Amino acid sequence: MWTEIQGFDDRLIGALAAAGILIDASHTAMDRLRCMFCEASLAVFDGTHPSITGEDEEFFEEAPEAETKTVVPLMDVFADYVGERKPAPSTVKRWRPVIRALIAQLGHDDASRITTADLIAWKDRLLKQPGGRGVPMAARTVREIHLAAVKVVLGWAVENGRIPLNPAAGVNVRVPKATRLRAKEFNDDEARKILQAALAAGQGRISAQHMLARRWVPWLCAYTGARVGEITQMRGQDVSQRDGVWTIRITPEAGTVKTGAARIVPIHDHLIEMGFLKIARASEGPLFYDPRKGRGGSAGNPQSKKVAERIGAWVRKLGVSDSSIQPNHAWRHLFKSISRRAGMSTQACDVIQGHAARTEGEAYGEWRADVLAIEMSKFPRFHWEMPDADRAGLE
């Protein structure tokens, strides 16, 4: 009956709070308290309420004790989430400061006290407040990094009984669709400029590993369609013959692989003719960086990532400056476009590039290296040959 009266529970809970009793509407004692509150209200009108008769000390003594709310430290929740789910080190590195920044804005570290209104205010502040470069954070960054981190961590807290509901579940950022003025792949001139510069990468005062990275990473990306980090973390031991085919094994054992699964990529004949196998046989370990010269490299910020960043910066300095394309990832788009024109199997191309299977059926079975090599043989060559003087040193 009383639950049908608008605001009844709010007035009851407020009255109890004023008396020092903290309780919420879902508490098992609420039915009894509702009855007592109604009886007390009626007693006020007929003059028999304890506050009038002088017996008020006994009234609240009859009320059952409310459970004390347990603090749920958000940083502890994050640590436990990381311990159980084991996300990539780079994810942990990126999300930890997000959680800390949220705690700083809230002024407390209690996940059980976070409300949807708190998170909306936090999101709005991120979108409006100038960041490190003096401009507000991009809506996509807020949605895909900050909100994503909080939603996942609080979702884990719900799944593990730390909090009853996820206050971030309904919070979102609408990202305007970006205007696209060109394709995400390199055009012919850009690809030629990068690959020709890579052939001359022995020039300049750079380390031996970085020289190898400039020389081979662009060509390997061009002929594999792999993510640049998958190439820069490559080890000599990842290159071997399988089913009579020279292959690269892209594996989480070497570093981060987005899908978390190892895959086999047949090596294009042109790479073999240019001498890549000799480079791969020179070391069992990383090909493009020296682990002994880590300079602070960590699981969250590995040396292979730094190598990829330096290659990207070098490509920009070559004059490939259009911000519409990414200086390393554009190879991945170009590989897909060329493979379509060459008539390669779409499914085989997805396997080579490490794209997820589109159907449950496609996920069944394995792709042998010799089968993938048949499809790779259809991929045309980039016709910018190595100068004879450089070729001689690799044969």
Same domain membership, residue 197 and residue 98 = no
Predicted local distance difference test score (pLDDT) of residue 90: 86
Same domain membership, residue 353 and residue 266 = yes
The domain that holds 358 is classified in CATH as: 1.10.443.10
The rounded distance, in Å, linking the Cα atoms of 87 and 81 is: 9
Same domain membership, residue 140 and residue 217 = no
Predicted local distance difference test score (pLDDT) of residue 65: 53
In a domain, 56, yes or no: no
Q: Is the pTM of this model over 0.85?
A: no
The rounded distance, in Å, linking the Cα atoms of 335 and 338 is: 5
Q: Give 145's DSSP letter.
A: I
The rounded distance, in Å, linking the Cα atoms of 258 and 227 is: 9
Write out the chain's pLDDT in tens, 395 residues: 545 555 667 676 666 666 656 666 666 667 777 777 777 666 655 655 555 455 555 544 554 555 556 899 999 999 999 999 999 888 999 999 999 999 999 999 999 999 999 999 999 999 998 876 778 888 999 999 999 999 999 999 999 999 999 999 989 999 888 788 899 999 999 999 999 999 987 666 778 889 999 999 999 999 999 999 999 999 999 999 999 999 999 999 999 888 889 999 999 999 999 999 999 999 899 999 998 876 655 666 789 999 999 999 999 999 999 999 999 999 999 999 999 999 999 999 999 999 998 899 988 999 999 999 999 999 999 986 554 444 433 33
Same domain membership, residue 236 and residue 123 = no
364-368, Cβ contacts within 8 angstroms, sequence gap of 24 or more = 367/264, 368/242, 368/243
Q: What string of H, E and C letters represents the secondary structure of 333-371?
A: HHHHHHHHHCCCCHHHHHHHHCCCCCCCHHHCCCCCHHH
Same domain membership, residue 339 and residue 376 = yes
In a domain, 60, yes or no: no
Number of structural domains found in the chain: 3
Same domain membership, residue 203 and residue 147 = no
In a domain, 323, yes or no: yes
Query: Which has the closest alpha carbon to 325: 337, 334, 338?
Result: 334
In a domain, 166, yes or no: no
Same domain membership, residue 25 and residue 94 = no
Count Cβ atoms within 10 A of the Cβ of residue 342 and give its class: 0-12 exposed, 13-18 middle, 19 or more buried.
middle
In a domain, 67, yes or no: no
Predicted local distance difference test score (pLDDT) of residue 391: 41
In a domain, 135, yes or no: yes
In a domain, 310, yes or no: yes
Same domain membership, residue 122 and residue 9 = no
The rounded distance, in Å, linking the Cα atoms of 311 and 330 is: 13
In a domain, 59, yes or no: no
Same domain membership, residue 79 and residue 26 = no
Same domain membership, residue 208 and residue 142 = no
Number of helices (H), then strands (E), belonging to the chain: the values are 19, 3
Predicted local distance difference test score (pLDDT) of residue 31: 73
Domain that holds residue 147: 74-160
Two structure tokens written together for 62 = 């009859």
Predicted local distance difference test score (pLDDT) of residue 92: 94
Q: Give 293's DSSP letter.
A: G
Same domain membership, residue 206 and residue 275 = yes
Predicted local distance difference test score (pLDDT) of residue 34: 74
Same domain membership, residue 221 and residue 148 = no
